[in-house]
Amino acid sequence: MPISYHEERHFGEFGGQYVPETLLAPLEELTEAYKTFASSEEFQKDFKRIVSEYSGRPTPLTYAQQLSRDLNREIYLKREDLNHTGAHKLNNAIGQILLADRMDKERIIAETGAGQHGVAVATVCAYFDKECIVYMGEKDIKRQSLNVYRMELLGARVEPVKTGARTLKDATSEAIRDWVTNVENTHYLLGSVVGPYPYPDMVRDFQAIIGEETKEQFQTQTGTDPDGLVACIGGGSNAMGLFAPFLDNEEIELFGVEAAGEGIDSGRHSAPLVTSGHGVLHGSKSYLMSDEDGQVQTPHSVAAGLDYPGVGPQLADLKEKGRLQVKAVKDDQVIKGFKYLSALEGIIPALEPAHVFGLLAEEPDWLGDCEQVVINLSGRGDKDVLEVAEYEGRDLLAGGEAE
C-alpha cells in the first residue's frame, strides 16, 4: 500500500487539481490525512485485517487451463470477482472509510455508475456505522435496479441524478457539489483513480493490493514475474491497482481494454484513450471524450461500469509514453467474451472484464510475445446475467424467449 508508487501531483502533463477554490482546502486536508494516517503502521495493519476478515483477501490467482490452451500462452486470472460484494471496488472503499474514520467524518457521499461502487460504499458505511448518501444517474438506476435495492438494504440513501445523460458523469458532478457544501463533516468517497489529486494516487495505492498479491502469488506459482498484464479500463482503478507494483520493470508489457460500445465511429463508446482527445473533467486533466467544441461527449457501453468519458491521469501518461497499449471492444464482442469465459473456465465474468476476453478471443496476437499473462478479472457477472440474456432477445423474468 500507501504513497509508495508516486509522489507528485501530476503525471506528465496530466492530473493536477482543476477545482473551484472552495475545494482546495478540503483536498489539502485529505492529502495531509492520507499522508499521515495511511502510511502509519497501525493504519496498514487495520487495512490488511479488514480486507482479510471482511472481504476475503487474498483473492486467488487462478491458472486458466482451457483459456491458456485456446490462446496459446499461459493465462492467469486475478480473482477480484471473489471479493465480498463481487468486485475490486471494495478494496478502495475499505481504505477510504478507514481514512474517513481517522478524520472523524461521519457522513459519507459517493457517486456510482453500475452501482458496484455504490454497493461497496454502502457496505463499508454499514460496517463502520456511517451515514451514506449515494448519487446515481436516473438511467443507471433503471438498468441496475438490483444494485439500487442492495444499497437500500445496506442502509444507504440513493439520490437520483436527473441532469445531463443521467449516468456516472452527472452523478459525479452532483457528489462534488454536495462535498463543497458539507465538507465539514463529509468525506467524498471517490470510486476510481480519477478526480483531483490526491484521489488518483490514493485510490491506486489502496487498489495496489491487487498487484502486490499478484506479484507474490505469481512468484510462488511460477518462480518468476509475468511478462504481460491486462485489465479493462473504465476510470482505471483495477488496471492501476494491478499495474502499480510492476511499473518499475519496463520489460513487463501493459495492456488496457476500453469500451468501443456501438463502434468508435458511431460516437457511442467509452474509449477516451483510444480516441485521444485531451481535456479537464472532474478536477483533473486527462484523456477525455470531447467533440470539436470541447464539449464532453456522452459515453456508452453495454457495461455500466465502463460508462465514463474520462480516465485516470496516470493511465493517460502511460499511454502517452508508449508504455500502455490500448484497444477498444464493441458491445457485441463483449457479449461473446462473457459467454466465452463462462463456458471455458466455469467463471462468469462481469461485463467490464468481459471486454478483455471478447478481445482476446478474436485477437490473441495482440499480446505479442507475452507468454505468461495475468488478466485482472475485476468482478463477477451475476449482476449482468439478465442484461446479457435480454441482449440476446431472451426475457428471463417473463419465463423464456422474448418476442
Residues that bind ligand PLP (CB under 6 A): 87, 89, 114, 116, 192, 232-239, 305-306, 350, 352-353, 378-379
Strand 186-188 relative to strand 157-161: parallel, antiparallel, unpaired? unpaired
The residue type at 285: K
- Among 78, 89, 105, 130, the active-site one is 89
Write down the least CB distance from residue 5 to ligand PLP, Å.
16
d(CA 337, CA 331): 10
Angle between helices 89-102 and 116-128 (to 10 degrees): 40
Q: CB of 68 within 8 A of CB of 367?
A: no
Is 73 or 79 the residue whose CB approaches ligand PLP more closely? 79
Does the active-site annotation cover 111?
yes
Is 101 or 317 the residue whose CB approaches ligand PLP more closely? 317
Q: Which residue is nearest to ligand PLP (CB)?
A: 379
Range 335-347 burial, b when 16+ CB lie within 10 A, else e: bbbbbbbbebbeb
Angle at 176 between CA 174 and CA 182, to 5 degrees: 105
Instruction: Tell me 35's DSSP state.
Output: I
Element (H, E) at 62: strand 61-63
Write down the least CB distance from residue 369 to ligand PLP, Å.
26
Does the active-site annotation cover 253?
no
Is 183 or 193 the residue whose CB approaches ligand PLP more closely? 193
Q: Which of 376, 93, 334 is nearest to 228 (CA)?
A: 376
Is 166 or 183 the residue whose CB approaches ligand PLP more closely? 166
Q: Which of 27, 1, 25, 29 is nearest to 16 (CA)?
A: 27
Range 382-398 burial, b when 16+ CB lie within 10 A, else e: ebbebbbeebeeeeeee
Is 140 or 174 the residue whose CB approaches ligand PLP more closely? 140
- Among 55, 78, 105, 111, the active-site one is 111
Write down the least CB distance from residue 184 to ligand PLP, Å.
28
Write down the least CB distance from residue 77 to ligand PLP, Å.
13
Is 115 or 226 the residue whose CB approaches ligand PLP more closely? 115
d(CA 246, CA 58): 18
Write down the least CB distance from residue 326 to ligand PLP, Å.
12
- Among 78, 301, 378, 387, the active-site one is 378
3-class state of residue 112 by DSSP: strand
Q: What are phi and psi of 49, to 5 degrees?
A: -65, -45
Write down the least CB distance from residue 209 to ligand PLP, Å.
14
Which residues are tagged catalytic?
89, 111, 378
